Amino acid sequence: MREVVRHGMTFDGMPKAELHLHLDGALPPETILLLAERNGLRDLLPGETEEAIAGWFVFQDFDHFLNVKRTIKKLLRSADDFALAVYAVGRELAAQHVRYAEITVTPYTFIDVLGHGVTLDGMFQGLESGRQQARSEFGIELRWVFDIPRNRAFADYHRGGAYVAGAAESTLAYALRGREFGVVGLGFGGNETNAPPEPFAQVFAEAKRQGLRSVPHAGESEGAASVWGAIRALQADRVGHGVRAVEDERLLDELAARQIPLEVNMTSNVSLNFCSRIQDHPLPSWIGRAFWSQSTPMTPNSSTPRSPESTSCLLMSSVTRRLMSFASPGMPSWLAVRTPPQKRGCWRNWTVGPRSVFRVSRACAPAARSLRGAAITGRV
């Protein structure tokens, strides 16, 4: 397969946006080691080399993945720690020619669960310092999605049970205070099992009333019912993952009709064993479906780029090549990536559709400004 090139620019070199990325899953190994060293927490890590840290990200299952992320959260203790983390992630994203990124952070865990003295003001100070330094040095624009740890909103963390107010309401309050520091959305993460979306409807309704976007995780560890809950009860503007929407044709039609994008993370799905291998991922069926009917919007993202399947902060190029490798002989053999005119008040998304393999649409104002003029077409 030939590289897509126009005006001397390869796909690797073109401007990009990353919309599904977890701060605690994107830290480079050297940054993890540095944070552990400065806070006297080396004993929390599996080893003292970058190779040991990289091997730590070979996940056994979803719970192992959550445990690794929880350990990394324990390394972030001060405003300076958050600033270092944000700067390191921004540097890696910029090296991949990412101009705009929305990064997920879970403030409730840092402030209310771990008990390590992290305050909301200290977190904002660190996030903003790292964001401004990354913007100044690399020209990258970073925004935040504050994530509700869904399992902490039920009577039993693992088995669910009755809804317990606290985690969701506090996260919303933190997100509303953070709007001046770049918080643009309310997220909803954790293990979907025994933690359905519906009890969170009022919190997300208030978030949207206050101008935040609804970007819940759904359809990763649970099926289509979880995605239905996200778009009906939580009024989702985008759905994190959503891959199991493929199990319900009516749901795919609904997503297409309402143009609700799915933030697809192919390599994450494989590394967490939700899909045994890239070749078995449901995304190709969407591509085939999109060429002959109304398309379901989607964005290819990295989610947790420190996993072995995701060796860089953004795998847009390699993921795109994988997507193109799925194309059937009857599909167009060309790739188009374009930036539309600036449109205020919407979010950027990448769409699979009958007129192009990827089409950039609904560009939000900051993304449109930073991505203006990017266009690549070519034959594969």
Tell whether 190 is covered by a domain: yes
- For residue 30, being part of any structural domain is answered with yes
50 is catalytic: no
What predicted TM-score, i.e. pTM, was given to this entire model?
0.79
To the nearest 10°, report the CA torsion of 233, 261, 146, 64: 90
Res 233: pLDDT: 97
pLDDT by residue (tens digit) across 80-107? 999 999 999 999 999 989 999 999 999 9
**Spatial CB neighbours of 144, under 8 Å, sequence gap ≥ 6:** 102, 103, 104, 105, 127, 178, 181, 182, 183, 184, 185
Return d(Cα 217, Cα 229) in angstroms, integer: 11
What are the structure tokens assigned to 364, written together? 């939000």
281 found inside a domain:
yes
Tell me the CATH number at 85.
Answer: 3.20.20.140
What is the H or E stretch that residue 69 is in?
helix 62-74
Q: Confirm whether 85 is domain-assigned.
A: yes
78-82, 242-246, 283-287: which has the minimum mean pLDDT?
283-287
Residue 376 included in any domain: no
Enter the tokens of residue 304: 């947790």
Q: Is residue 114 part of a domain?
A: yes
Cα dihedral across residues 305, 306, 309, 311: positive or negative: positive
Q: Cβ neighbours of residue 319 under 8 Å, at least 6 residues apart?
A: 266, 267, 300
CA of 367: how far to CAs of 88, 139, 346, 357, in Å?
A: 20, 12, 10, 21
Better-scored residue on pLDDT, 174 or 372: 174
Q: What are phi and psi of 139, to 5 degrees?
A: 70, 20
Residue 304 banded pLDDT, cuts 50, 70, 90: low
pLDDT band for 265, please (50, 70, 90 cuts). confident
**Residue 251 falls within a domain, yes or no?**
yes
Give the residue from 137, 142, 164 showing the smallest Cα distance to 153: 164
Residue 340 pLDDT grade (very low, low, confident, very high; cuts 50, 70, 90): very low
Do the beta carbons of residue 332 and residue 322 sit within 8 Å? no
pLDDT at 352: 30
Strand partners, 100: 17, 141
Amino acid identity for residue 182 in this structure:
G
Name the strand (E) or helix (H) holding 217: strand 213-218
Mean of all residue pLDDT scores within the chain = 77
Choosing from 220, 222, 263, 309, the catalytic residue is 220
- What crossing angle do the helices spanning 201-209 and 167-177 adopt, rounded to 10°? 10
- As a whole number, mean pLDDT of residues 195-202 equals 97
Flag whether pLDDT at 30 surpasses 70.
yes
Q: Determine the 3-state secondary structure of 1 from DSSP.
A: coil
Q: Is residue 176 part of a domain?
A: yes
Strand partners, 264: 300
* Alpha-carbon distances of 188 from 147, 152, 203, rounded to whole Å: 5, 11, 11
pLDDT at 158 over 60: yes
Q: Which domain holds residue 51?
A: 15-329
Q: Where does 99-248 have alpha helices with state H?
A: 107-108, 120-138, 167-177, 201-209, 224-232
- What does the pLDDT average to over 113-133? 97
How many domains would you assign to the chain? Answer: 1
Find, among 134, 235, 221, 152, the residue nearest to 186 by Cα: 235
User: Sorting pLDDT into bands at 50, 70 and 90, what band is 283?
Assistant: low
